[in-house]
Structure 1
Amino acid sequence: MAQRRTPFGDRARYWFDSTLARGAAALVGWMALLCLAVVVPASAVVVWTDPAAPASPADRLAEVWRLTGETLRLGGATGTPLRVMMSVLLALVTLLYVSTLVGLVTTALTERLTALRRGRSTVLEHGHAVILGWSEQVFTVVSELVAANANQRRAAVAVLADRDKTLMEEALGTKLGSAGRTRLICRSGPPTDPAVLPLASPATAGVVLILPHDEPEADAEVVRTLLALRAALAGVGSRPPVVAAVRDDRYLLAARLAAGPGGIVLESDTVTARLIVQAARRPGLSLVHQELLDFAGDEFYLVTEPALTGRPFAEALLSYPTSSVVGMVRAGTPLLSPPPETPIAAGDLLVVITRDDDTAWTADCAELVEEAAMASGPPTPARAERVLLLGWNRRAPLMVDQLRRRALPGSAVDVVAEPGEATARQLDESGEGEATGLSLTLHHGDITRPETLRRLDVHSYDSVIVLGRDPAPGQPSDHPDNRTLVTLLLLRRLEEATGRELPVVTELIDDRNRALAPIGPGADVIISGKLIGLLMAQISQNRHLAAVFEELFSADGTGVRLRPADDYVLPGHETSFATVVAAARRRGECAIGYRSHDDSSTSPGYGVRINPPKEERRRWAAGDEVVVVARD
């Protein structure tokens, strides 16, 4: 069978492609031929159509050559062949020089722009905040730093992570919007490399924050970053304060050793577990924590007040009209809600909740107290509690341990998890050695199936805690929340079927899923990463607050509590908030706000009011609650 002849067009295209493959010389030759093929005929047309063109063909051809030379910058000189060749040679040398110069300049600019886009230039800032690493917490930390720097003129936040600079800038811009006066600077590179860390200028920074990741080796990465930072700052006289966080307490000591004496390392899982349990015991407490930890409202400050030196702590509670005193720091040790008779010594710092660092001013508010409106009965007694724990993750044993520590006789915790997620041995080891009246029961089942929840009398529990799985390696960060959202849908259906509201506390990983959660307004939702980000941002502004927060969120220390308002003031009476503060002072507590029952479903505060003025008056209802700093 005769071979089919290849079309001429295909053979010509193949030959053309083959010549181009020979390199730059072939490309230059083809470009020259193409230019001549266009310029020479066009020049001939221009010359032959010119009324003033020479009459003789030789002169016309010379004019065509001159016009072609001018167009291609080849000189266009006429005369003897030597003269024409020298003219072309000079033009080619000029063209080579100019094109080479343009190429060098273009290459240099391209390399510089590429380096800038890659984030490889050194940050030249002083007193800025440096964030090492990238996770969902970066948005919380950066947004809080932007809010804290709202009144600063030259504030800057530098983020160094092993990600593309452009992608980081786009993510921050999309998530946060305008940064106001704060300049956001992103640099690309692994923060575990001491040679890369100088890109963010940590030696001249005001604070360095190291973000934890939600990956299997996240804590080891935090320790490596701390060691790299120590190596990068070797020889630097004054080192900036360092704030970091680890998930597992097994890495806590190593991280603190790597951070050095001035470093602060938080246990993210332990803090999250404590806050979830506190919210489960008193619905609405997560809203109070959110209000206290972000920079949008009132927050913690340390102030000195020489006028109160030598006076009992009880007098300080009614000495600030627009601020709430919750304790003091003595020689670096926080004393939250100390006994009222504790004297304020010289050098003590008062821990106050106020709008800004210049809004804590003193004035006597004792005349605002109305003794007749105070409640005189005993406080509401605590009772045994029943908690339903739906799901299991690495923080679940810590939560069971927290529930065990404060459990009264008759308390019970029922855990529902799939086989392999939780075992009876894990439940027994949670809080091992604690002799309490808490009974633990493990039920195996899939919490995303309706029949599993229907078998449980969910309305008989005082609180329901919904947990997501730990993120698996390689899965998106919001993957554990998918299962949580399905469980919440089923619980919502049970609420609608029975007409009874469930006291649900939900743990989510991604803050974006908060708006998707099918829960009632004002419900308790704990965004684990966001809480740690808020804490890190607060401590970055004042490292002395680290000890205050450690005491405030400790398992057995003094913390934020929600108590019935009728334990402090008579229901149905209108009185000032100063009266509530005075009533709490009698019980050795510090009142810092309240939650209105009538507004508990109204955004944005859902009834929570932190640090109201002492002169604020309102009629207290039976369902209202008072926010206090006290021991259980």
Structure 2
Amino acid sequence: MAQRRTPFGDRARYWFDSTLARGASALVGWMALLCLAVVVPASAVLVWTDPGAPAALTDRLAQVWHLTGETLRLGGATDTPLRVTMSVLLALVALLYVSTLVGLITTALTERLTELRRGRSTVLEQGHAVVLGWSEQVFTVVSELVAANANQRRAAVAVLADRDKTAMEEALSTKVGPVGRTRLICRSGPTTDPAVLTLTSPATAGVVLVLPHDEPDADAEVVKTLLALRAALAGEGPRPPVVAAVRDDRYRLAASLAAGPGGVILESDTVAARLIVQAARRPGLSLVHQELLDFAGDEFYLIAEPALAGRPFGDALLSYPTSSVVGMMRGDTLLLNPPSQTPMAADDLLLVISRDDDTAWLDDCAELVEKAAMASGPATPARPERVLLLGWNRRAPLIVDQLRRRARPGSAVDVVAEGGEVTARQVSEADAHSGTDLTVTLHHGDITRPETLRRLDVHSYDSVIVLGQDPAPDQPPDTPDNRTLVTLLLLRQLEEATGRELPVVTELIDDRNRALAPISPGADVIISGKLIGLLMAQISQNRHLAAVFEELFSADGTGVRLRPATDYVLPGHETPFATVVAAARERGECAIGYRSHDDSSTTPGHGVRINPPKAERRRWTIEDEVVVVGKD
């Protein structure tokens, strides 16, 4: 059989590739031939077309040599062979020197740029915020820090995580957006290495925030990071305030010991469970929490007011026309909503909700109160509640415990989940301390199947809580949201079929999925990671707020409540908000806002108004609610 002949083009290409494979010498040779193949003919054309060119062939060749030498920097001398050779040699040496110098400079610049892209240079800042770790919370934390630093002339936020620096910068730029005057600095490396932590200059930082990542060992990683931070700051003098978050309360003590005396440790799962239960008991309360935690609106401030020294705390409630007083700080002790007869000392700090720290100014608002419009009847009594819990995850036992703490006799919780999600033993353990006030019952079923929900009389429950499964180790963190969205879609179908709205409280992992959720605009959605990020950002600006939020979000203490407006003012009456504040004071509460039923589905805040002016007048309806700080 005759052998197939290889085309000439393929053989030529193969020979050329083989010569290049020999290394740099072959590449230099080919570059030289290519240059000569272009420069020599071009020089000859210039000489032969020049009217003033010499007539002799040797003289013309010499001129071609001159042009070639000038173009290729080869000297171009035309004398004895020795002089020509030396000229070319000197030109080659000069070319080698320049090429080497350019190569060295290029290599050095490339290495420096590569190092900068890797994020391995030390941050030289003073009073900056350091964020250690990477999770979905980082976008919330950075966004809130940028908002808090909006009025600062020079502010910086340094983020250290074991990720590519360029990827972090692109992600923050996409999700955070413009940062104004704040400088955003990213550094790459493990947060558990003390030597790497020094890249962020934590010794000169104003605050250090440690974020848990999305892996199962997140809490252990937080503790290890705190230990590395302590090692990096050893011998550096005063340590900056530290704010960290763990998921499991079993790690809180270890994290507190690692963070040191000034550290604040948040339990993300416990906080999320408390907020879910509070929203389930009073729909719309999650919107109030969002307003209080977001730097974009009114927030908490501690202010000194010596002019009120010696007067009862109740007088302070009507002493600020554009701020809401909710408590005071006596030394390191927080007094949230103390009795109105509590005397105020000169060194006490008032805890107020205000637009900014300079917008709280004194002015007596007592004359605005219209006592004729105040309601005098008893408060609306609490009654037993029935809660439907769809789904089960690691926060479900905490939710059951929070429901138990404030349950009225006869209250019940029905749990619907698959056998793989929860067992009767897990439910019985969660219900171990429920006593007679709360009954917990498990029903097996797939909450993503229509027949499961149709078997339930969902409209008979006071609230419906939808939880996602705990993600598997090999799944993305937001995978549970997929099942949650399916369940919400089925609940929406039941609402449309019956024409009755369900009081649904939804837990989501990714804030981006909120826009996909088939729920009403003002529905309660708890984004646990985002709320923890908001909390961390608030506490990073004032560590005393940790005690404030701990009390506000507790099940048994003084917290934020939504009450019927008819408990405070007569329906149909137009009266200033000062009247509501005075009526709440009579009940031992601090009124801080309201929710308008008529605006619940039209305004961006869904009817929630925090810290309205005392002089603001409005007509109160039966469906309106008042936001107060008080006990049940």
Query: One fold, TM greater than 0.5?
Result: yes
> Aligned partner of 2:66: which letter?
R
Tell me the amino acid that sits aligned with residue 503 of structure 1.
P
Matched, 1:142 2:145: no
Specify the alignment match of 2:445 in structure 1.
445
Quick check: 1:391–1:417 contact (8 Å CA) kept in 2? yes
> Equivalent residue for 1:43?
43
Counterpart residue number, 1:264: 264
Find the counterpart in structure 1 of residue 253 from structure 2: 253
On the 8 A contact 1:404/1:436 being kept in 2, the answer is no
Q: Deviations over 1:531-551 (max 9, x none)?
A: 000000000000111111111
2:177 maps to 1:174: no
Which segments of 5 or more consecutive residues in structure 2 lack a partner in the other structure? Answer: none
| Paired AA for residue 25 in structure 1 | S
Task: Name the structure 2 match of 1:102.
Answer: 102
Alignment-derived partner of residue 605 in structure 1? 605
SS at match of 1:196: helix
Structure 1 distance, partners of 2:391, 2:159, is: 35
One-letter amino acid matched to 2:378: P
In 2, distance between residues paired with 1:430 and 1:334? Answer: 32
Aligned match of 1:526: 526
Shift of residue 143, structure 1, vs aligned partner: 1.0
Q: By how many angstroms is 1:51 displaced?
A: 2.1
Matched AA of 2:215: E
Equivalence map 1:86-125=2 (5 Å)? 86-125=86-125
Contact 2:410 2:436 (C-alpha < 8 Å) held by counterparts = no
Q: Is the 8 A contact 2:593 2:627 kept in 1?
A: yes
- The aligned runs of 1:163-242 (5 Å cut-off) are 163-242=163-242
Contact 1:588 1:630 in 2 (8 A): yes
Paired letter, 1:91:
A
Deviations 1:217-258 (Å, cap 9, x if unpaired)? Answer: 111111111111111111111211010000011111111111
> Which residue is equivalent to 2:614?
614
| In 2: Cα distance, 1:367 partner to 1:48 partner | 106
Alpha-carbon displacement from aligned partner over 1:356-375 (angstroms, at most 9, x marks no partner): 01111112111111111111
Quote how far apart the aligned CAs of 1:471 are: 2.2
Deviates more, 1:601-610 or 1:557-566: 601-610
- 1:447, distance to aligned residue in structure 2 (A): 0.8
Contact 1:562–1:625 at 8 Å: present in 2 too?
yes
Match of 2:344?
344
Q: Is the 8 A contact 1:271 1:553 kept in 2?
A: yes
Distance in 1, Cα, partners of 2:66 & 2:216: 74
Partner of 1:403: 403
Query: Do 2:243 and 2:539's aligned partners in 1 also have CA atoms closer than 8 Å?
Result: yes
User: 2:565: which partner in 1?
Assistant: 565
What are the superposed Cα offsets for residues 188-244 of structure 1, whole Å, 9 maximum, x if unpaired? 111111111121111111111111122101111111111111111111112110100
1:405–1:436 contact (8 Å) kept in structure 2? no
* Distance in 2 separating the partners of 1:44 and 1:368: 101
Contact 1:408 1:436 in 2 (8 A): no
The aligned counterpart of 1:544 is 544
Q: What's the counterpart of residue 299 of structure 2? A: 299
Contact 1:522–1:602 under 8 Å retained in 2 = no
Q: Is the 8 A contact 2:308 2:346 kept in 1?
A: no
Q: Report if the CA contact (8 A) 1:569-1:620 is conserved.
A: yes
> Could you tell me how far apart the structure 1 residues matched to 2:42 and 2:364 are?
96
- Structure 2 distance, partners of 1:290, 1:12, is 71
The aligned residue for residue 553 of structure 2 is 553
What aligned pairs does 1:349-360 form with structure 2 within 5 A after superposition? 349-360=349-360
Note if contact 2:305-2:346 (Cα within 8 Å) is conserved in structure 1.
no
- Whole-Å Cα distance in 1 between the matches of residues 70 and 250 of structure 2? 79
> For structure 1, which segment, 3-12 or 617-626, has the greater mean C-alpha deviation from structure 2 after superposition?
3-12
Q: Is the 8 A contact 1:334 1:551 kept in 2?
A: no
Q: Does residue 382 of structure 2 align to residue 382 of structure 1?
A: yes
Contact 2:322 2:612 in 1 (8 A): yes
CA distance in 1 between partners of 2:188 and 2:603 (Å): 39
Partner of residue 430, structure 1: 430
TM-score (norm 1): 0.98
What is the DSSP-based 3-state SS (H/G/I as helix, E as strand, rest coil) of the residue aligned with 1:195? helix
Give the superposition deviation at 1:299: 0.5
Superposed displacement of residue 435, structure 1: 2.4
1:403-452 deviation line (CA, Å, top 9, x unaligned): 11111111110111111211121122125334242111111111111111
Percentage of matched positions with identical amino acids: 86
The alignment's TM-score, normalised by the length of structure 2, stands at 0.98
Deviations 1:35-74 (A, max 9, x none): 1222222222222222222222222221221111111110
Instruction: Report whether the alignment pairs 1:590 with 2:557.
Output: no
Q: Does the 8 Å contact 2:67/2:76 carry over to 1?
A: yes
Does structure 1 retain, via aligned residues, the 8 Å contact 2:431–2:440? Answer: no
- The one-letter amino acid paired with 1:274 is R
Task: State how far apart, in whole Å, the 1-side matches of 2:87 and 2:264 are.
Answer: 75
Report the Cα offset of residue 14 of structure 1. Answer: 2.1
TM-superposed deviation, 1:104: 0.9
State the SS of the aligned residue for 1:515: helix
Q: 1:345 deviation in Å?
A: 2.6
CA distance in structure 2 between the aligned counterparts of 1:9 and 1:571, rounded to whole angstroms:
94
Asked if 1 retains the 8 angstrom alpha-carbon contact of 2:409 and 2:438, the reply is yes
Asked if 2 retains the 8 angstrom alpha-carbon contact of 1:131 and 1:209, the reply is yes
Residues 364-375 of structure 1 mapped to structure 2, 5 A cutoff: 364-375=364-375
- Specify the code of the residue in structure 2 equivalent to 1:423: T
Tell me if structure 2 keeps the 8 A contact 1:219–1:247.
yes
SS of the aligned residue for 1:375 comes to coil
Alpha-carbon distance in 2 for matches of 1:304, 1:426: 50
Q: Give the Cα–Cα distance (whole angstroms) in 1 for the partners of residues 420 and 12 of structure 2.
A: 68
- The alignment partner of 2:516 has SS state of coil
Distance 1:45 1:613 in 2: 89
Q: Which moved more, 1:526-535 or 1:327-336?
A: 327-336
**AA matched with 2:511:** D
Q: Which amino acid is the alignment partner of residue 114 of structure 2?
A: T
Query: 1:160·1:189 contact (CA, 8 Å) conserved in 2?
Result: yes
For structure 1, list consecutive stretches of 5 or more residues without a partner in the other structure: none
Moved more, 216-225 or 166-175: 166-175
Deviates most, 496-505 or 405-414: 405-414
Tell me if 1:32 matches 2:38. Answer: no
What is the Cα deviation at residue 305 of structure 1? 1.2
Q: Shift in Å at residue 18 of structure 1?
A: 1.8
Letter in 1 for 2:624: D
- Offset from partner CA, 1:497-550 (integer Å, 9 cap, x none): 100000000111001111111101211011100100000000000011111111
Q: What amino acid is the match of 2:246?
A: V
> In 2, Cα distance between the equivalents of 1:430 and 1:438?
11
Q: In structure 2, what is the equivalent of residue 459 of structure 1? A: 459
Distance 2:446 2:24 in 1: 66
Q: Bigger CA drift: 106-115 or 287-296?
A: 106-115
Deviation for aligned residue 1:112: 1.5
Separation in structure 2 between the aligned mates of residue 584 and residue 8 of structure 1, nearest angstrom: 97
In 1, Cα distance between the equivalents of 2:325 and 2:394? 36
Opposite residue 62 of structure 2, the aligned amino acid is A
Q: Identify which range, 539-548 or 11-20, moves more after superposition.
A: 11-20
Aligned-partner residue type, residue 304 of structure 2:
T
How far apart, in 1, do the equivalents of 2:350 and 2:553 lie? Answer: 19
Provide the residue aligned with 1:83 in structure 2.
83
Counterpart AA for 2:176: L
Partner Cα separation in structure 2 for residue 484 and residue 335 of structure 1: 39
Contact 1:407 1:436 in 2 (8 A): no
Q: Hey, what's the Cα distance between the residues in 2 that align with 1:375 and 1:169? A: 55
User: Which one-letter code corresponds to 2:171 in the other structure?
Assistant: A
CA–CA distance in structure 1, aligned partners of residues 250 and 530 of structure 2 = 22
- Size of the aligned set, in residue pairs, is 632
Who is 2:152 aligned against? 152
